[in-house]
């Protein structure tokens, strides 16, 4: 199919137009290696303004060492692209490959240079997941006018200009020889620039290794190759963990809990954390609500959500291995707890595959007042959970995966009545708005989350005379709102700012739950003195339902006492080796 598309594209633009009944165009005849070099220089120059700014800030170009390093990096980038073009492209295929690189590079460059996005393996997986889930609403929000303008100027237009290029023809082996000589000359030149300055080059590259993340389109290309290699590795066979888990039966009252997964909520924009805007007016007035800041497992939904429910913990978490073993929801189900997942986001990322689950996006009621062209507002959960709040039957855990503060169109995440912080950004691209407007739109999403959580607590409180109830809220990751030139989320964890990794934990529990199932001294210590993380979630859920499981780590249970840390290390090691 791709070959047919390239052939049609070639016939419309670069073939002999007179044979297709089209007027002839003025052309320029150049050798393939000349086109490859020209295209590589243009792509590198047009796609790496952020990288060049970082280099110029860190280098003294008036010194031989600084100028030499800059020349080394630029020449190396050009050579990588030239080698790629000359290795895969002959004739019309060469121009088609270059056209593809021009368009893709312009897209990558926009997000890298304007929003601070890094296209590592996790980000590419996020893109693939969006495509797989057919999440057109999310994709459409990213297709802003500035993006389309940038892609047209730096991608589509240069690709169309290739129509004026006619490639000189040589015999096959003669052409191979010329290409080999060109590449050899390029690498000799690179060696000539690098070797006299090798000590500084190696030192600066080692001390500034994060710069490689900004190299466009080469770093995304390397990430794609590595991702493909990992994808081709066979999936490990599924391992059932704690199939013999059971409830100890020490509690006579039924328990109903709601676990709310926040989306893109950063802790420092909650007024309960001291934020100057009153984003949590209802929760602040709700008796028994506790708030803590915590470290996220990752900086993207695709990574964090499975990690939140894994028994591994962040240090030993690997997505492929985690997909191939039971998570805490499986263990709770095996122990007899009715476990339900309701999604208002793209998907559960595999976490809910083996339990009862539904996605509200699958069959939406478009006539509902809670439905917009972007999907349901999170208020829809208030209607959906009633059938699970009955006081009969086994203990129940309801997991709600919210749309929350998902960007970039923060202003579309809540009904108009919740736009209390104004003026707020109503554009899809945050770069089209002022910093104040972006922050206000984002803060309105937190204000709306405050309303949702307070309403859920009211529903649970209404049942608390008959059953023990609790609500536990944790966001999957945070969000950058333009600080330091970064927007959205998904940066590699090693360089991600606190805005993307510092997330809120919120707990409310009924009086009966406090009395029967929680060590209050441990709870107050955890929410007042200790640094929490996503690692606490799975073990806390097991503890809240009094489940006996071999992978349970008591010191990670927020509501229980601590135990010997040597046991924790042993269990983490055992889990990671399954």
How confident is the model over 97-128, as pLDDT tens digits? 999 999 999 999 999 998 889 998 888 888 88
Q: Which of 75-84, 94-103, 162-171, 264-273 has the lowest mean pLDDT?
A: 162-171
Report for 12-26, 200-214, 491-505, 547-561: range of highest mean pLDDT:
491-505
Segment holding 558, helix H or strand E: none
Structure letter (DSSP) for residue 556: G
Query: What's the whole-number mean pLDDT along residues 167-178?
Result: 88
Residue of 430, 379, 429 whose CA lies nearest to 403: 379
Q: What is the per-residue pLDDT across 260-296, written as a single tens digit (0 to 9) for each? A: 999 999 999 999 999 999 999 999 999 999 999 999 9
Tokens 């290699």 locate to 229
Which of 67-71, 212-216, 336-340 has the highest average model confidence (pLDDT)? Answer: 336-340
Residue 457 burial (CB < 10 Å; 0-12/13-18/19+)? Answer: buried
CA-based nearest residue to 50, from 219, 204, 298:
219
Q: What is the DSSP letter of 325?
A: B
Average pLDDT for residues 163-178, to the nearest whole number? 88
Report which DSSP code applies to 414: S
State both tokens at 133: 């889930």
Give residue 169's pLDDT band: very low, low, confident or very high (50, 70, 90). confident
The whole-angstrom separation of Cα 88 and Cα 39 is 14
Query: Residue 547: pLDDT band by 50, 70, 90 thresholds?
Result: very high
Contacts of residue 199, Cβ cutoff 8 Å, sequence gap at least 6: none
Q: What is the pLDDT of residue 437?
A: 97
In the predicted model, what is the mean pLDDT of residues 217-226? 92
What is the model's pLDDT at position 107?
95
Comparing CA positions, the residue from 501, 555, 543, 505 lying closest to residue 303 is 501
Q: What is the pTM of this model?
A: 0.84
How does strand 371-372 pair with strand 375-376? antiparallel
Q: Is 52 exposed, middle or buried (0-12, 13-18, 19+ CB in 10 A)?
A: middle
pLDDT, mean over the chain: 88
Helix then strand count (H, E) for the chain reads: 23, 16
Helix (H, G, I), strand (E, B) or coil at 255: strand
Instruction: Look at residues 7, 30, 29 and name the one whose alpha carbon lies nearest to residue 20.
Output: 7
Question: Which one-letter DSSP state was computed for residue 354?
Answer: T
pLDDT tens, residue by residue, 427-481: 888 888 999 999 999 999 999 999 999 999 999 999 999 999 999 999 999 999 9
Q: How far is CA 432 from the centre of its chain?
A: 22
Residues in the chain: 578
Domains, the chain, in order of start with CATH, read 2-232 (no CATH), 254-576 (3.40.720.10)
Instruction: Report the pLDDT value the prediction gives residue 519, as an integer from 0 to 100.
Output: 67
From CA 45, how far away is CA 33, in angstroms rounded? 18
3-class secondary structure, 265: coil
Q: What is the pLDDT of residue 403?
A: 96
* CA nearest neighbour of 381 among 340, 328, 338, 441: 340
| H helix runs in 235-362, sequence order | 281-285, 301-308, 319-323, 328-334
Angle at 309 between CA 304 and CA 311, to 5 degrees: 110
- Contact criterion met (CB below 8 Å) for 301 and 476: yes
Task: Please check whether residue 451 is in contact with residue 418, taking contact to mean a CB–CB distance below 8 angstroms.
Answer: yes
What was the pLDDT predicted at 21?
56
- 251 backbone dihedrals φ, ψ, rounded to 5°: -115, 135
Instruction: Measure the CA–CA gap between 177 and 280, rounded to whole angstroms.
Output: 69
Share of residues in the chain with pLDDT > 70 (%): 90
Residue 570 has pLDDT above 70, yes or no: no
Using pLDDT thresholds of 50, 70 and 90, give the confidence band for residue 158. very high
Q: In whole angstroms, what is the distance from residue 492 CA to residue 209 CA?
A: 13
Q: What is the mean pLDDT of residues 201-230?
A: 87
Would you place residue 563 in the very low, low, confident or very high pLDDT band (cuts 50, 70, 90)?
A: very low
Give the single-character DSSP code of 155.
I
């Amino acid at each position: 199919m791709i070959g047919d598309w390239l052939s049609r594209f070639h016939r419309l633009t670069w073939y002999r137009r007179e044979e297709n009944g089209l007027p002839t165009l003025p052309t320029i005849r150049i050798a393939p290696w000349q086109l490859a070099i020209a295209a590589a220089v243009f792509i590198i120059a047009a796609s790496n303004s952020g990288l060049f700014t970082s280099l110029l800030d860190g280098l003294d170009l008036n010194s031989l060492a600084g100028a030499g390093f800059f020349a080394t990096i630029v020449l190396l980038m050009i050579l990588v692209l030239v080698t790629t073009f000359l290795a895969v492209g002959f004739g019309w295929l060469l121009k088609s490959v270059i056209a593809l690189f021009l368009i893709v590079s312009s897209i990558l460059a926009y997000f890298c240079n304007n929003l601070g996005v890094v296209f590592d393996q996790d980000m590419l997986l996020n893109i693939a997941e969006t495509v797989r889930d057919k999440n057109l609403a999310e994709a459409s929000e990213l297709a802003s006018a500035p993006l389309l303008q940038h892609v047209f100027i730096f991608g589509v237009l240069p690709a169309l200009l290739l129509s004026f290029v006619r490639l000189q023809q040589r015999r096959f082996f003669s052409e191979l020889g010329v290409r080999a000589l060109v590449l050899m000359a390029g690498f000799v030149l690179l060696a000539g620039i690098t070797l006299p300055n090798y000590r500084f080059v190696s030192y600066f590259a080692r001390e500034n290794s994060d710069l490689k993340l900004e190299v466009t389109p080469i770093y995304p290309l390397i990430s794609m190759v590595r991702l493909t290699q990992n994808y081709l590795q066979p999936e490990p066979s599924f391992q059932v963990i704690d199939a013999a888990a059971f409830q100890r039966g020490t509690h006579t009252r039924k328990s109903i809990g709601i676990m709310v997964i926040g989306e893109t909520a950063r802790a420092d924009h909650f007024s309960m954390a001291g934020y100057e805007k009153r984003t949590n007016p209802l929760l602040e007035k709700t008796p028994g609500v506790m708030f803590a800041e915590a470290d996220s497992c990752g900086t993207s939904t695709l990574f964090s959500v499975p990690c939140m429910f894994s028994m591994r913990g962040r240090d030993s978490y690997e997505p492929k291995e985690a997909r191939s073993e039971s998570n805490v929801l499986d263990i709770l189900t095996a122990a007899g707890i009715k476990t339900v997942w309701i999604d208002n986001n793209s998907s559960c990322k595999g976490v809910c595959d083996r339990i009862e689950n539904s996605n509200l996006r699958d069959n939406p009621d478009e006539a509902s007042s809670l439905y917009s062209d972007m999907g349901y507002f999170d208020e829809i959960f208030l209607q959906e959970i009633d059938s699970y709040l009955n006081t009969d039957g086994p203990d129940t855990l309801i997991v709600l995966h919210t749309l929350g503060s998902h960007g970039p169109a923060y202003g579309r995440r809540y009904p108009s009545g919740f736009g209390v912080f104004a003026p707020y950004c109503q554009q899809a691209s945050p770069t089209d708005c002022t910093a104040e407007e972006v922050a206000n739109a984002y803060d309105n999403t937190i204000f709306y989350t405050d309303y949702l959580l307070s309403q859920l607590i009211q529903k649970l409180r209404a049942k608390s005379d008959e059953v023990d109830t609790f609500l536990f809220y944790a966001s999957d990751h945070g969000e950058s709102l333009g600080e330091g030139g970064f927007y959205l989320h998904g940066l590699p964890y090693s360089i991600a700012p606190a805005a993307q990794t510092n997330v809120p934990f919120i707990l409310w529990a009924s009086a009966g739950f406090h009395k029967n199932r929680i060590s209050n001294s441990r709870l107050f210590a955890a929410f007042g003195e200790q640094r929490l993380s996503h690692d606490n979630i799975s073990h806390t859920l097991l503890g809240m339902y009094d489940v006996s499981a071999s992978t349970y780590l008591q010191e990670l249970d927020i509501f229980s006492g601590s135990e010997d840390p040597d046991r924790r290390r042993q269990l983490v090691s055992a889990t990671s080796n399954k």
